[in-house]
Amino acid sequence: MIGGRARKGSGGRGLRSDWAKLTGRTVEVWRMGEYILTGVVEQAADNDSVLWIAADGSRTRKLFAKLDGYQILV
């Protein structure tokens, strides 16, 4: 559980710091203990500093940076 919200299907899943290896994976984005969204990693920087979650329906592509406090769970 993070920030009072139980993770869906958490068996064997957890926090990832190797963002560059997550392209194509479905991930959960969290910040300061709050769930932000679930989406597919479209692209990630080789140095693991940022990643982009693919557009989905009316939602546009989104950029998330580690330095801004975002965490990724897979």
- Residue 32: which domain range? 15-73
Is 20 among the domain residues? yes
CB distance 5 to 54 below 8 Å: no
Return the structure tokens found at 65.
Answer: 């940076």
- Residue 36's CATH number: 2.30.30
**Is residue 27 situated within a structural domain?**
yes
How many structural domains comprise the chain?
A: 1
pLDDT of residue 13: 74
pLDDT band for position 19 (50/70/90)? very high
The answer to whether residue 50 sits within a structural domain is: yes
Residue 33 domain-assigned?
yes
Residue 23: Cβ within 10 Å count: 13
Compute the mean pLDDT over every residue in the chain, rounded to the nearest whole number: 88
pLDDT at residue 12, as a whole number: 54
Residue 3 forms part of a structural domain: no
Position 21 in a domain: yes
